[in-house]
Amino acid sequence: MVLLAEGGLIGRIRDPAARSSRLMGKRISLADLRPVLSEHASFVLCSHSRPDGDAIGSVVALKAILQAMGKKVVVLNEDGVPENLQFLKGGEDVVVSDGSPVEAEVFIALDTANKARLGARCLAAGAEVPLWVNIDHHVSNEEYGDLVYVNERAAAVGEIVYDLAMELGLPLPDEARDALYVAVSTDTGSFQYSNTGGRTLRMAADLVERGVAVGEINSAIYHDFPYRRVELLKELLGTLERSGDGRVAWWVLRQEVKDRLKIQAGDSEGLVDVMRAIRGVVACVFFEELKDGDVRISMRSLTTKVNVCEVCAAFGGGGHVLASGARQGGPVEEVMPRVLAVLTKAVEAGDI
pLDDT of res. 24: 75
Residue-wise pLDDT for 199-235, tens only, equals 999 999 999 999 999 999 999 999 999 999 999 999 9
Residue-wise pLDDT for 79-132, tens only, equals 999 999 999 999 999 999 999 999 999 999 999 999 999 999 999 999 999 999
Residue-wise pLDDT for 41-51, tens only, equals 999 999 999 99
Percentage of the chain lying above the pLDDT 70 cut: 93
The secondary structure of 166-231, three-state, reads: HHHCCCCCHHHHHHHHHHHHHHCCCCCCCCCCHHHHHHHHHHHHCCCCHHHHHHHHHCCCCHHHHH
Chain centroid to CA 53: how far? 8
Domains of the chain by start residue, with CATH: 2-221 (3.90.1640.10), 227-350 (3.10.310.30)
Residue of 199 and 15 predicted with greater confidence: 199
pTM over 0.75: yes
pLDDT of res. 216: 97
Strand order in the sheet with 42-47: 26-27, 147-150, 131-136, 106-110, 42-47, 72-77, 94-96
In the structure, what pLDDT confidence band is assigned to residue 3 with cuts at 50, 70 and 90?
very low
DSSP H or E stretch at residue 133: strand 131-136
Q: Is the Cα dihedral 352, 318, 313, 77 positive or negative?
A: positive
